[in-house]
Chains A and B, each alone.
Chain A
Amino acid sequence: MTAVTLVVSFLVVRANTDGDPVTQSGRIELAGVTKRFATPGGDAFTALRDVTMTVEPGEFCAVVGPSGCGKSTTLTMVAGLDRPSEGTVTVGGTPVAGIGRGISFMFQTDALLPWKTVLGNVAMGPLFRGAPKRAAHADARDWLRMVGLAGFEDHHPHQLSGGMRKRVSLAAALINEPSILLMDEPFGALDVQTKAIMSNELLTLWDQSRPSVIFVTHDLEEAIALADKVVVMTAGPGTVKDVFHIDLPRPRGSVQEIRFGQRFTELHHEIWASLRDEVTRAYARTSALANRTDAVEGARS
């Protein structure tokens, strides 16, 4: 196993003379990406239009935008679960074709297997990658300790609180030591306090291995508190409207307190000004649609 890894990294070093091979594999590039879906009615629905963005190795990039602007679609294409209709998605210098190795994904809803124990869930990654059972379990125990869940190894997911389940998901995502971590509103369903605690913990763990992150959220404060870069997307079909660099120093400390800082407030104002138009537009569109449906139904009755 180690021998193979050595050979592979040797080859990668030979291929990528311009950068550190390990961190280089975390580079994500989307160039002119358009994604259309066929609606049940047979029409084409454009979810993303001409999206171009780059995430540097080790960069924490947050993507904000109104609901339905194709944020999640972007993630599925980086993960290789879906292909763009036009344009290219490149990860670590190679175009994405199928599911990549160095990527982990944290979904909005729990993706834990309810029939496996907490330990079994976290150990899945190494087991699927061919690690022996004993090593995978030892590894999983370490990760559970790191997310503060030592002693819960034999519980089943339904016995845990929402926050604890998120910790398990986080451990399960990080145990494969990904160079890219994709997160789709991972803390969206949590209460405000738990969300803050989880955000702090995410930052601590991220800092240890520094994978590149794309963090999709609709919570602008969360985005600014966590990220190096915030990408604002337009109302659907989504495209990149603005990119803001968050120059708050790291380590940032508690996300609850950072938001009282002056620079944080300035950034918040600036980005919100950009985001507000899109949110308003998306809202106007859905309410117009609702009114039209009402009118049609009113005419029927």
Chain B
Amino acid sequence: MTRRRLAVLGTQVVVLILVFGGWQLFTSLKIVDPFFFGQPSGIVRTAWDWEQHGTNFGSIWLQIWTTMEEAIFGFLIGVTGGIVVGVLLGQFRFLSDVLSPYIKAVNALPRIVLGALFVIVLGLGISSKIVLAGFLVFFVVFFNAYQGVREVDGNLVNNARILGASRLDVIRNVVLPSAMTWIIASLHVAFGFAVIGAIVGEVLGAQHGLGVLITDSQNNFNTNGIFAGMIIIGLIALVAEWLIGLLERRLLAWRPQMASEAPAA
């Protein structure tokens, strides 16, 4: 480990201690009311209690797994759909001209509201959350894939065609790899949207999940419970981010140097 990385890591730990230590200190001294702002020790106690005695809705792991399942399936569906539709519309000008006003209209809707509809149609189970998460992910990936396809260097396409490539060859060998930089960049943001979709879906109506846990804490004025749920979601997002980073390094190994793509939202 280089000195610089060590310094970065050390400072990160100091920031963590300062934030949580200060939080603990100020709430202990009652300068800030722990009833409204929670307290790190209380959050840890709540989380530990969930782990030891379960939540009102079953084991904490069941809640975590439910939310992750919804987010991951929604993510996969949204990413696949986004890439397929993005490449299709990027390749076929007529199709994109016809569909573009509709896509813009649907995109302009506050899509979270659709969650209410999905809960009615698909029920309180995980499918309504998967659909909502997939829907949110789809648009992020779709716009990036579409833009990526549009940005493909015309020279590369022409060269491949002259060498004898069919339309499918061009898509596989030129268009997709070229758009991959754009698509991968969108995945970081997209997973965040998948988690949002899952949690919002659960808040709107579900039997299990971290969203349910957070709503339940809210109804009991349990701020520590809300924070504990938030921190668990944050940890999941960190792991996902790391996994997407691995995927990125693998798929874009050909690139001269890795420009780190920080999540935009």
Binding site for B on A (CB under 8 A): 79, 81, 99, 101, 103-105, 107, 109, 111, 113-116, 124-125, 128-129, 156, 158, 172, 176
Partner of A128, one of B160, B178, B180, B255: B160
B159 & A105 in contact (Cβ 8 Å cutoff) = yes
Cα distance A249–B228 in the bound complex, in angstroms: 85
What does the 1/0 interface line of B162-206 toward A look like (CB < 8 Å)? 111110010001100110100000000000000000000000000
A105 and B154 alpha carbons, distance in the complex (Å): 14
Contact partner, B165, options A79, A114, A128, Cβ 8 Å: A128
A124 and B160 within 8 A (CB): yes
Q: Give bound CA distance, A104 to B156, whole Å.
A: 13
A109–B155 contact, CB under 8 A?
yes
Q: Find A99's partner among B161, B169, B174, B178 (CB 8 Å cutoff).
A: B161
Bound together, the chains give a CA A101 to CA B164 distance in angstroms of: 7
Q: Which residues of B contact A111 (CB under 8 A)?
A: 155-156, 158-159
| Extra inter-chain contacts (9) besides given A103-B162, A111-B156, A111-B158, CB under 8 Å | A79-B162, A107-B155, A111-B159, A115-B177, A124-B160, A125-B163, A128-B160, A128-B163, A158-B255
B92 interfacial by beta-carbon distance below 8 Å: no
Contacts of B101 in A (CB 8 A): none
Q: How far apart are A105's CB and chain B's nearest CB, in angstroms?
A: 5
**For residue A101, which residues in chain B have a CB less than 8 angstroms away from its CB?**
164
Whether the Cβ atoms of A99 and B177 lie closer than 8 Å is no
Q: Is the CB of A158 within 8 A of B161?
A: no
Which residue from A114, A125, A128 sits with its C-beta under 8 Å from B254? A114
Closest beta carbon of chain A to B176's beta carbon, Å: 10
State A81–B160 Cα separation when bound (angstroms). Answer: 12
Residues of chain B within 8 A (CB-CB) of A116 are: 173, 254
Q: Is the CB of B162 within 8 A of A104?
A: yes
CA distance A116 to B180 in the complex (A): 13
B257 (CB) vs chain A CBs: closest residue: A158
Query: Does A156 lie within 8 Å of B163, measured CB to CB?
Result: no
Contact B158 A128 (CB under 8 A): no
Q: Can you list 6 pairs linking A and B with CB atoms under 8 Å apart?
A: A79-B158, A105-B159, A111-B159, A124-B165, A128-B169, A129-B164
- Given A114-B254, A158-B256, the answer on whether A125 and B164 have CB atoms closer than 8 Å is yes
Q: Name, among B162, B169, B174, the residue most crowded by chain A CB atoms within 10 Å (CB to CB).
A: B162
CA separation between A81 and B256, bound complex, in Å?
31
A115: B residues at CB distance < 8 A: 177-178, 180, 254
Inter-chain CA distance A81–B158, complex, in Å, is: 7
